[in-house]
């Protein structure tokens, strides 16, 4: 299953601290040799200030209590640097720890800067010192302290580039502390700035969107409303275009969200067009499963892919924990995925056949005959499926279902309205672009 591991593609789009949870998961699953994972961890830690953690991993990797002299010297440097940064930021930190003083701050940043300078002799140097101190705290692994100071800095900073950098750090810290509600707020705040900010080049803006989508995976597959939120973000034209051109591996997660989210069927139909476009360039079992069912009508292929999908979900760092522990409901993600995957096969197969042999369908659903019969009986009873089971012949008979002409007209009108709105939005965006430049 290492062939389907996306960590090598995802890691370059993450802060190095965010890669550690992925390596921890891969180590638990024993997807790679333990020695390889430990070496990867040390390589990541070499560019952070988490020296004690690096020492512990070195001891585990080489089975010794001794550590290299350069690690010891590095630790001394980190402690000294931390103390110096703390002293530089001390005036502003002291101010922020005074609740009565903090109440004087307003939404007007220019007022705050003037007030800090006049009353407390705190100027731009101390404010920038707070940023460097917060960043150093983050590199040391003190995510809670870093998140607090970065938020305070963001409220005072007037430099748009540095302000966005502080937001990225705050977002990473909240993810690493698993504060999913707060992390979602930071994600939405970052998205708003990325979409509205005038970047030096369109490519830079696209790169920021790609980073944001990769970081969002931690949130969406842990937050209660995540499987809806990921569709809302990834399926937007600008973000979906970025996925198709620069990060097609992210289609795995959007496809998974669509499969387990029954409330997004209208958007799902449009997503299938994307799957059709990418079916020969994307080798992911989950997207290939959708191509088998909805594009090629290859139900034998879909059955094989469904088995691969189960393994992919179990061994994916973002999907794996939810695969067995329970997803956003009481049902584990793996079970919810397989249930909906079978439903897709059944519904599509029934649309192109009027009489279906139960044994053949059981094989395509990857169930034995008795399991398939119970599953189909339950489906007919709980859904509006126009079908009945002929027990004598062991077949499912589909009742003819002629669409209501008025319903067809309404559906076409809705689709036309949506396309018109999209076209007008694009025209307005192009019209505003020259004036913005």
Which residues partner with 206 through β-bridges? Answer: none
d(CA 345, CA 349): 6
Each residue of 316-347: pLDDT tens digit? 999 987 776 655 555 789 999 999 999 899 88
pLDDT(427) > 90: no
d(CA 209, CA 250): 12
Give the count of alpha carbons within 13 A of 228, CB side only.
6
CA–CA distance from 344 to each of 262, 270, 298, 364 (Å)?
11, 16, 12, 11
Note the pLDDT of residue 264.
Answer: 78
Note the pLDDT of residue 437.
Answer: 43
d(CA 425, CA 313): 37
Q: Report DSSP state, residue 2.
A: G
pLDDT(432) > 60: no
Full DSSP string of 306-330? HHHHHHHHHH-TTTHHHHHH--SSS
Each residue of 372-426: pLDDT tens digit? 888 888 887 776 667 788 888 889 887 765 455 555 556 556 556 656 666 666 6
CA–CA distance from 141 to each of 53, 185, 407, 422 (Å)?
9, 22, 57, 44
Each residue of 94-124: pLDDT tens digit? 999 999 988 989 889 999 999 999 999 999 9
Question: What tokens were used for 400?
Answer: 């003819």
Question: What tokens were used for 164?
Answer: 């966005």
pLDDT(297) > 90: yes
Q: 3-state DSSP: the chain helix, strand, coil percent, rounded to 5?
A: 75, 5, 20
d(CA 15, CA 42): 15
pLDDT(270) > 50: yes
Full DSSP string of 96-129? HT-HHHHTT--S-HHHHHHHHHHHH---HHHHHH
């Amino acid at each position: 299953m290492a062939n389907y591991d996306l960590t090598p593609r995802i890691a370059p789009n993450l802060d190095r601290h965010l890669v550690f949870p992925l390596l921890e998961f891969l180590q638990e699953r024993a997807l790679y040799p333990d020695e390889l994972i430990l070496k990867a961890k040390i390589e990541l830690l070499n560019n952070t200030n988490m020296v004690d953690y690096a020492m512990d991993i070195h001891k585990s990797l080489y089975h010794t209590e001794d550590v290299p002299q350069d690690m010891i010297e590095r630790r001394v440097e980190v402690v000294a640097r931390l103390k110096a940064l703390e002293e530089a930021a001390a005036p502003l930190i002291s101010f922020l720890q005074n609740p009565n003083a903090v109440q004087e701050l307003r939404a007007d940043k220019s007022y705050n800067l003037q007030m800090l300078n006049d009353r407390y002799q705190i100027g731009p140097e101390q404010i920038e010192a707070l940023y460097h101190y917060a960043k150093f705290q983050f590199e040391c692994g003190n995510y809670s302290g870093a998140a607090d100071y970065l938020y305070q800095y963001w409220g005072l900073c007037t430099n748009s580039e540095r302000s966005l950098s502080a937001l990225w750090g705050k977002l990473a810290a909240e993810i690493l502390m698993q504060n999913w509600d707060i992390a979602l707020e930071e994600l939405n705040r970052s998205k708003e700035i990325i979409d509205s900010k005038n970047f030096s080049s369109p490519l830079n803006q696209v790169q920021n969107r790609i980073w944001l989508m990769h970081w969002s995976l931690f949130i969406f597959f842990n937050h209660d409303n995540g499987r809806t939120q990921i569709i809302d973000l990834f399926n937007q034209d600008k973000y979906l275009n970025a996925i198709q051109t620069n990060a097609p591996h992210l289609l795995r997660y959007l496809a998974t969200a669509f499969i387990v989210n029954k409330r997004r069927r209208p958007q799902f139909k449009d997503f299938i067009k994307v799957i059709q476009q990418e079916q020969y360039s994307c080798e992911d079992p989950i997207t290939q499963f959708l191509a088998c069912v909805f594009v090629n009508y290859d139900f034998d292929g879909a059955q094989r892919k469904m088995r691969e999908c189960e393994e992919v979900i179990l061994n994916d760092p973002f999907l794996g924990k939810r695969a067995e522990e329970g997803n956003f409901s009481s049902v584990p993600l793996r079970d919810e995925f397989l249930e909906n995957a079978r439903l897709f096969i059944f519904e599509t197969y029934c649309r192109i056949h009027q009489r279906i042999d139960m044994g053949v369908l059981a094989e395509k659903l990857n169930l034995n005959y008795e399991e398939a019969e119970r599953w189909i009986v339950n489906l007919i009873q709980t859904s509006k499926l126009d079908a009945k089971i002929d027990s004598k012949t062991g077949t499912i008979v589909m009742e003819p279902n002629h669409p209501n002409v008025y319903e067809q007209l309404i559906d076409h009108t809705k689709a036309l309205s949506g396309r018109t709105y999209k076209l007008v939005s694009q025209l307005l965006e192009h019209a505003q672009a020259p004036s913005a430049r």
